[in-house]
Amino acid sequence: MDHDLPKPPLALVVLTQALLAALLLGGIGVIALLPAMSASIAAALPEYASLRTPLLALAIAIVLLALVTLAMVALLVQRIHAGTVLARPSLLWVDVIVSTLICAAALVVVAFVVIGVGQAGSPWLALILVTACLALTALACITLVLRSLLGHAIRLRTELDEVV
């Protein structure tokens, strides 16, 4: 693959990777703090203590999905910088991003059901969860549109390489 594609400035790539790394570390910190925080909330609201385990599991799963997404974005940023983004593995990484977004939206729906069954929510929480689900679904759709553009660019690049 040629390395003559336009590249973002190195400073922008380094800044992006540093911010992604900070978000990854923050996510790991959140996972470490969630059990203690959920125990504290369960102690403060004993009537909802039975929801602690399922909601904790859902929260950790959503954060893990976010971490996988951040890792895939970091890999794609690196491929863009290296000039190798127009290759099939890039599509696989975008597929992982779409899958994580869809799984996260499904987990938000499960959280909505768990909270509803436990009668622990408020209308504002329901609105937040519905908005989160819609936002994750919209991000998955936008990513799919961008994936189709990437797939088309890869096909064009392959065609051009064959001609040359």
Does 4 reside within a domain? no
Does 5 reside within a domain? no
What CA–CA distance (Å, rounded) separates 133 from 114? 15
The total number of structural domains that make up the chain: 1
pLDDT for residue 6: 79
In terms of residue numbers, what domain contains 140? 10-163
- Tell me how crowded residue 51 is: count the other CB atoms within 10 A of its CB: 21
Residue 1 pLDDT greater than 60, yes or no: no
The radius of gyration computed from the CA coordinates of the chain, to the nearest angstrom, equals 20
Does 128 reside within a domain? yes
What CA–CA distance (Å, rounded) separates 156 from 112? 44
Does 2 reside within a domain? no
Higher pLDDT, 106 or 45: 106
Does 35 reside within a domain? yes
Residue 56 pLDDT class (50, 70, 90 cuts) = very high
Average pLDDT of every residue of the chain = 94
Please say whether the dihedral angle defined by the alpha carbons of residues 8, 18, 78 and 72, taken in this order, is positive or negative.
negative
Contact 94, 76 (CB under 8 A): yes
Q: What percent of the chain has pLDDT over 70?
A: 97
Q: What percent of the chain has pLDDT over 90?
A: 85
Note the pLDDT tens digit of each residue in 106-156.
999 999 999 999 888 788 999 999 999 999 999 999 999 999 999 999 999
What does the buried/exposed string (b/e) look like for 143-158 if buried means 16 or more CB atoms within 10 Å of the residue's CB? beeebeebeeebeebe
Does 36 reside within a domain? yes
Residue 32 pLDDT greater than 60, yes or no: yes
Does 1 reside within a domain? no
